[in-house]
Every structure is written in C-alpha cells, then in structure tokens.
Amino acid sequence: MVTTFNKEAGDTVQVTVPVNPPIINISNLNVFSKKEHILKNINIGIPKNKITVLLGPSGCGKTTLLKCLNRLTDLHSDLRLEGSIEIDGDDILHTKKDITQIRQKMGLLLQRPYPLPMSIYDNIAYGLKIKGITNKKIVGEKVEKHLKEVALWDEVKDRLKSSAQSLSIGQQQRLCLARGLAVEPEIILADEPTSALDPISSRVIEEEFLQLKDHYTLILVTHILRQAKRIADYVIFMYYGEIVEHGNAAEIFDNPQTTILKEYLRLGH
Amino acid sequence: MTLRRKLEEKFFHALSALFALFIVFVLVHIIWSIFQKGISALSWQMVSQEPKGGFYLGKEGGILNAIAGSFYLAIASTILAFIISLPVALFMNIYLIKYKRTLTGIRFFLDVLWGVPSIVYGAFGFVILIYLGMKTSLGAGIITVAVMIAPIMIRAMDEVLKTIPIGLQEAAYALGSTKTETAYKIFFRQALPGFATAVLLAFGRGIGDAASVLFTTGFTDYVPQKLSDPAATLPLSIFFQLGSPYDEVQSRAYASAIILIFIVLVISISARLLSGAGKSRK
Ligand SMILES: Nc1ncnc2c1ncn2[C@@H]1O[C@H](COP(=O)(O)OP(=O)(O)OP(=O)(O)O)[C@@H](O)[C@H]1O
Ligand SMILES: [Mg+2]
C-alpha cells in the first residue's frame, strides 16, 4: 500500500484559516482497523455555517472520517480511535455525556435513503418523540415545517399516513434530510447523498444545502467534482488516510499545490 | 462452444425440473393415500365429539380432545416461544453485532439445538417434571414444546434481522435512538413481515411433534380445562389409533391425519397472506 504522496519541490501544504470559527476541531485523530491504519493523524477545523466538502479517491477514508464525527464507528468493534474530536468544546471521543444527545447535534444523509419502516409523518415525528416531544400539535407543526424546508410538503401533504417506502428514491432522500433536520441539529453530515439520484433530484438537494448553510454547518462527501465546485466553501482533500490539502474552495480549485490534487482535479473533469 | 453451453443449460434445466416434479409427486402421493384411507371416516362427529366409551374399538365418538389439545398446546407454546425469542434475536442483532465471533458461536449452538431430536426435549421435560413432583399436564407440554421450538424461532428471526441493512441501523442511531429504541421501534417493525414465517415454522413443528409431548402432556379422552390437566394431541391420537387392530379405527387415524394436514395448511396459507399483505403495504 502506498502511504506517501509526491510533493513537488517547494510545495507547501496550505494552512488557510477558515473564515468562520471552527465548530468541530479534530486533533491527532488516528483510526486503526485490525489490518490497516485508516486515518492518519488528522488535524482540521470545520468552519461553522459553511459547506465543507471532503474530496479524495475511493477508499481514502472519507466515510470513516464522517462516521467518527457522530461515533457511528462504535458499531464496529474492529475500529480503534485515537485523538480527539471537539464539538462545541466537548471531546466527543472521551466525553461522559450521553452519546444519543451528541448524535442529535448531527443529521446524517447516506448514499442511499434509509426511510424508517413507518409512515411519512412518523419518519419525521420519530426523532421528536424520542427526544420527548409528544404534544400532537407541536409535532404536527414541526412535521409540516421540515417537510416544507426540503420542498417535499406539496408532494406528500395528502398522503402523510402512507408508508415512506412508497416514495421515490429522490423523495425518500429529501424525507431523510427532513427527518434529520427535525431533531434540530447544528451539523449535517452527508455521504455522497446524491449518488443514487437523478440529476434533477440531485440539484434539488444541492439547492437545499445552499439554503441550509445559513443555519447549519454542512459536511459533504462527494465524488462529483462539479457538485463540489458548485456548493463548496471549504475543501478538504484526502489521500490514503491523510489530509493532503485543505483550504477555501477557490484556492483549492484554482490553485492546487500538490501534484496529487492537481492530478485528481485534472482527471475529475 | 456455444452449442456446449446451450446443451449444458438445457440439461441442468431438465434435471432440476425432473427433481422438482419428483418431490411434488411424492408429496401428492402421500396426501392422496392419506385421503383415500381416511376420507370415508371423516365426519362431523369426528371433529365435534370427545371419544366415547368404545371409541378405540370402533364405536362412537371423535377426536375433539386431540384437536383442542393440539391447538391449546401449539398456540400457547408458540406465544411463549415468541416472548422468549424476540428479545434474544434482537439482542443478537443489536448488542452483539460488534462481536462477530460470539455471534457465530451462538448461531452454531442454536443450529445444534434445532437439530436435537424432539424425544430428547421430551425426556428432558419428563425429568424436570419428576424432579418437581408434577404430573403430565398441558402446562408441562407447553413449556417443553416452547423450549423445543424457541431455537427454531430465534434462528428464523435472526435470519430476517440479518438482512436489515447497516444503513438503517446507522440512520436510527444518527437520529439519537438508544439501542432499545432501535431494536423495538425500528428493527422490529422492519422485520415484522418476515417474523410471520418464523412463527409459522415454529408453530408447524410444535403442532406436528409427538415425541416431545409423549411424556410431558400425557393423553386423555377429555378436552383439557386447565393447565394442570393432561391433554391429548393429534400426533399421539393418530399414533394410538393406528395401533388398533380394527379397520374403522385405522381409517379414523387417517381421517385425523387429514385434519392435522388441513390445520397446518390453513395456518401456512394465512400466515403467507398476512406477511404478503405486510410486504405490499411498504
Ligand atoms: N469497519 C471497518 N473495518 C475494517 N476496515 C474498514 C472499516 N471501515 C472502513 N475500513 C477501511 O478503511 C478504508 C477507508 O474506507 P472508507 O469507507 O472511509 O473510504 P471512502 O473514502 O469513503 O471511500 P469511497 O469513496 O469508496 O466511499 C478502506 O480501506 C476500508 O477498507
Ligand atoms: Mg465512502
């Protein structure tokens, strides 16, 4: 396995300070599986209320990094984490706080939508109910608000009681976004959220992301370079488990420093 | 080359069709001969009356005792087994999901239990009965059969739960669900249509098994009124009637078999329909 990348003589890896103060601070994060060193010494701050895009070739550890942020890595006993991830000043890898509360700070969108096995309405009400919000009126209002937020309300308002699986994949993905927003997170994690969608549904999700960044911090993994260019404020480029370059979108796309990123951007066209 | 592949394809197609036909033929043959021998003895009296004085000599009466006993036994033990199996299957797929080796071990152990002959469960139940100083009874039979079918139900539920994608689990946790909420609010619902098959499989084994109830439930000519009464079951009733030298009683044994097959068939089909309805609602 190659673990080094070639730097051209005189290359300096960028250390641009993000405009907004970081909401997430990752320091010295290392992730090991039984056989591999998956993430290597990750040090990065994620700017608040911006769209941060994670780029990098397949298998470089983007999904793993995302899952570290809400500790979904707990589901795998073969992963070992070292270092710290501070969110709102809490080191979530070592905190004594309830993990379910920490996870509610983050909404998650996966490659494919996974609607809960219940009605459209209940998919959104579920997160509220487990938070202890049971007042029917309040729940009903929130369901409407968040379905409108993802531009799904008009399409489903007449069939809120039917199963979420009856929706199209694109609608399901927006439902999953709404469901995540209903628990009032600060951060939205999205792992290639448009990879299963047609171009139009993809654009709808992108538009929603652009609107959401006024109130939320978004972290997006994508393989679609054009998509990254359209919506990224901040870009992190990874290669074999390491962060090779990071910086404001304009700098990264217009003025890449390392050979490997130049190559990646060239091939991505 | 293409000709060889075509022939190969034809050959194996024909082969599997042949074997499938053979199985169907055997099944039809079994059912047919049971019907032939039993249909004449089938009557309303058979299913509506307890055995009268000379029933086993070919006189008046029916097998209501065994029909009722089998129903009580199979339904109660299936419910009991479900109550035991559901938490175990969910525990395996939620809490133990990280521990692949432990899981493999548990699955192997359950598969072994699945394969243990039912007479062993019967003997085990009998030993416990004696130890507790109890008599053969419906209650003892229910517990024995529940213990016997629980591994089947757990493994069948486990197979359904295994197919739930990790993404759904991640989505549930990402929303802030606890493990218990993930298990009972999400996994349970997702797996519900598949659970019907698990329950059916266990019920089928429960209602059709003779050996496990032989020493534990006993046999009686009356419909059991309480858990401490002994109870008759259809398989044992068939067994006793088949042992009779009288022709009438032997045809009644086949008639009883028809009734047992009918019950299993009705339950199978309705469970299929129920789970089918659950699936199409998605
Ligand atoms: N639970 C795990 N156990 C062992 N190895 C793992 C585990 N999860 C991920 N890995 C390994 O970590 C590496 C990074 O995987 P990851 O899924 O994070 O890549 P990725 O950048 O998201 O790739 P892609 O773009 O294809 O989604 C891979 O080599 C993978 O095999
Ligand atoms: Mg990935």
Q: What is the CATH number for B112?
A: 1.10.3720.10
A116–B170 CB contact, under 8 Å:
no
pLDDT 10s digits, A193-236: 999 888 888 998 899 999 999 999 999 999 999 999 999 999 99
Residue B36 lies in a domain: no
A130–B167 CB contact, under 8 Å:
no
The rounded distance, in Å, linking the Cα atoms of A176 and B276 is 26
Angle formed by the axes of helices B64-94 and B188-208, nearest 10°: 140
Residue B52 lies in a domain: yes
Residue B5 lies in a domain: no
Instruction: Determine the number of helices (DSSP H) and then strands (DSSP E) in chain B.
Output: 12, 0
Pick from A104, A108, A163: which is nearest to B171 by CB? A108
Residue B266 lies in a domain: yes
Quote the pLDDT of residue A19.
62
Contact between residue A216 and residue A185 where contact means Cβ atoms under 8 Å apart? yes
| Closest Cα to atom 4 of ligand 1 | A33
Residue B32 lies in a domain: no
Question: CB atoms < 10 A from the CB of A262, how many?
Answer: 13
The pLDDT of residue B277 is above 80: no
Residue B24 lies in a domain: no
The pLDDT of residue A3 is above 60: no
Residue contacts between A and B (CB atoms, under 8 Å): 74
pLDDT 10s digits, A235-252: 999 999 999 999 999 999
The rounded distance, in Å, linking the Cα atoms of A122 and A163 is 9
The rounded distance, in Å, linking the Cα atoms of A29 and A41 is 5
**Structural domain that includes position B118:** 44-281
Residue B18 lies in a domain: no
Quote the pLDDT of residue B61.
83
Quote the pLDDT of residue A72.
93
Single-letter residue type at A129: K
pTM of the model: 0.84
A130–B181 CB contact, under 8 Å:
yes
Structure tokens at A60: 């470089």
Contact between residue B184 and residue A117 where contact means Cβ atoms under 8 Å apart? no
- Domain tally, chain B: 1
- Residue B132's Cα: distance from chain center in Å? 27
Q: Exposed, middle or buried, A20 (CB in 10 Å: 0-12/13-18/19+)?
A: middle
Beta strand pairing status for A90-91 and A106-109?
A: unpaired
Counting from 1 in the atom list of ligand 1, the atom nearest the Cα of A33 is 4
B181–A179 CB contact, under 8 Å:
no
Place of tokens 């998605």: B282
Print burial letters for B151-180: b (CB count within 10 Å at least 16), e (below 16). bbbbbbbbebbeebeeebbbbbbbbbbebe
pLDDT 10s digits, B89-142: 999 999 998 888 999 999 999 999 999 999 999 999 999 888 988 889 999 999
Structure tokens at B277: 């309805």
pLDDT 10s digits, B180-192: 999 999 999 999 9
Percent of chain A with pLDDT over 70: 93
Residue A103: its chain B contacts at CB < 8 A?
Answer: 173-176
User: ipTM > 0.95?
Assistant: no
A45 phi/psi in degrees, rounded to 5: -110, 140
pLDDT 10s digits, B232-266: 999 999 998 888 888 888 899 999 999 999 998 88
Rounded average pLDDT over A42-49: 93
pLDDT 10s digits, B136-174: 999 999 999 999 999 999 999 999 999 999 999 999 999
The rounded distance, in Å, linking the Cα atoms of A202 and A206 is 6
Residue B165 lies in a domain: yes
Candidates A76, A104, A114: best to mutate against B (most CBs of B within 10 A) is A114
Chain A positions touching chain B (beta carbons under 8 Å): 67, 70, 72, 75-77, 100-101, 103-104, 106-108, 110-112, 114, 116-118, 126-127, 130-131, 163, 165-166, 176, 179-180, 183, 189
**A60, A224, A237, best to mutate for ligand 1 pocket (most atoms within 8 Å of CB):** A60
Chain A's closest residue to B100, CA to CA, is: A77
Single-letter residue type at B171: A
